[in-house]
Amino acid sequence: MDHPPGTKIVIIGGGVAGLATAWALGQRGFRDVTLVERETKCFSVSSGQNAAILRHATDSPATRHLTRRTRDLLHRPPGDLCEQPLVDGRGLVVLEGNQETPLPWWADELIADGSCRALDGAELREKAPGFVREGARAWWFPHSGTIDIVRLGKSLEQSTRKKGVNLLLGASVQQLQVDGSGVVNGVKLEGGKVLDADLVVLAAGAWAGSLGAAVGAEFPGRPTRRHLFVTKPEQRLDPQQAIIWDDAGSFYYRPEAGGLLFCIGDQDDCLPTGASGAPNGTDPLVVRAARRGLARRLPDLNNLELARAWAAIRTVTEDDTPVVGMDPRVPGLFWVAALGGHGMSLSLGLGDLAASMIGGDLTGDPDLEAALAPDAPRRDWIPQRNWS
Ligand SMILES: Cc1cc2nc3c(=O)[nH]c(=O)nc-3n(C[C@H](O)[C@H](O)[C@H](O)COP(=O)(O)OP(=O)(O)OC[C@H]3O[C@@H](n4cnc5c(N)ncnc54)[C@H](O)[C@@H]3O)c2cc1C
């Protein structure tokens, strides 16, 4: 649908989904935009609590397409956003499969476009010293790296403010407002104030589903909890080391503050509760499994101690593809949600796409828009197409 720059827009959520959309709307000349964020700072919830890895090896063609677009924007950010790259160039090793299993869906496309190449055993030992792997095949992604999520959040916020977007921090949306004919025409804040809007963008992360369901818009996303761990600093670690992600063994790690940040790939359904939406703190069983996992995968670093552990929310879909687009059932409602484990890797490309869809400056790719649509079939999914 075509919305001119004068359209009055309210965005719910100041995570990466909402802020990147606000920034890209500002770039397109939209001036009557208000972003409402419940916390007193943007990037307080999932967008500030993740592993910050730029990865595009994913089976969903739509997610892959958008993460590759974002990779280019993070390495060379637009001038209005930031003058320095927002991702380092340390590179990523992905381990998966064995010699009998077929190649992953992403492999042909990402090899062909130069995003990755196979690594031999010697190269792997050099990039992942001492790592006990499960995946037999190793792939090197030289343009992946660690995203500076603090600078990404600050740059988006500053640039968005400069473009005249109003950021309403510390304000919570209680419900979407719907007129007599079922059209969303604003939001009601806690305390009763109403903000009128021609279009409401639902970018509320783990809370998007409940806000949408209350006005009859079912959402295919599901909030899930995942833990992350950081060890105390350790001299034997190389701070420049690549990121290692073993898909076959559900384990990844990378350098962080002199120690290692790592994840054992846990995932439980959860309700977004607690301070800043933290899903009720950490689970001692997962913490114990993480200690064991680390000792098994990096036995040479046998006495690494944990410095920090936390759990955060990933809102996932069956097909690992985010939900982006006008809701076909509830006019006036636009979704940017269910970013799964890819939100930071999608960030700028996703915001840009959402803003171009709102402005009616269509992507030129109806298949891509259909895959992202709120009512797209998310089951029995076969990735049949690549968007390169
Ligand atoms: C453990 C973990 C590791 C991850 N690692 C990576 C990674 O390495 N690479 C990667 O690309 N991605 C990663 N992710 C995924 C990434 O963090 C998420 O996809 C992304 O942060 C989601 O962004 P969001 O804006 O949708 O949600 P959020 O960041 O949660 O933002 C939603 C915002 O909406 C606000 N809000 C909600 N309800 C209301 C309301 N009623 N009124 C006002 N405001 C409201 C919330 O306060 C919140 O700030 C990881 C996630 C987790 C949990």
Tokens of 295: 């000792």
Domains in the chain: boundaries: 9-52+150-221+319-372, 92-142+222-316
CATH class entry, domain 92-142+222-316: alpha beta
**Contact between residue 84 and residue 283 where contact means Cβ atoms under 8 Å apart:** no
What per-residue confidence (pLDDT) applies to 366?
A: 87
What per-residue confidence (pLDDT) applies to 379?
A: 66
What per-residue confidence (pLDDT) applies to 1?
A: 62
Tokens of 9: 């827009």
CATH number for the region 9-52+150-221+319-372 comes to: 3.50.50.60
**Long-range contact list for 185-193, CB < 8 A, 24+ apart?**
185/332, 186/10, 187/10, 187/12, 187/36, 189/36
| 35 alpha carbon – ligand 1 mean position (Å) | 15
Residues 6+ apart with CB under 8 A from 371: 60, 61, 62, 319, 321
| 338 alpha carbon – ligand 1 mean position (Å) | 9
What per-residue confidence (pLDDT) applies to 108?
A: 95
CB of 335 sitting under 6 A from ligand 1: no
Tokens of 95: 């381990």
CB of 339 sitting under 6 A from ligand 1: yes
| 119 alpha carbon – ligand 1 mean position (Å) | 33
CB of 87 sitting under 6 A from ligand 1: no
CB of 81 sitting under 6 A from ligand 1: no
Q: Which pLDDT tens digit goes with each residue over 82-93?
A: 999 999 999 999
- Counting ligand 1 atoms within 8 A of each CB, the residue from 344, 347, 348 with the most, and so the one to mutate, is 344
Q: Which pLDDT tens digit goes with each residue over 218-240?
A: 999 999 999 999 999 999 999 99
What per-residue confidence (pLDDT) applies to 109?
A: 95
The maximal CA–CA distance of the chain, rounded, in angstroms, is: 67
| 13 alpha carbon – ligand 1 mean position (Å) | 9
Shortest CA distance to 298 belongs to which of 236, 357, 247?
A: 236
What per-residue confidence (pLDDT) applies to 388?
A: 42
What residues of the chain score a pLDDT lower than 50? 380-388
What per-residue confidence (pLDDT) applies to 61?
A: 93
Phi, psi of 333 (to 5 degrees): -115, 125
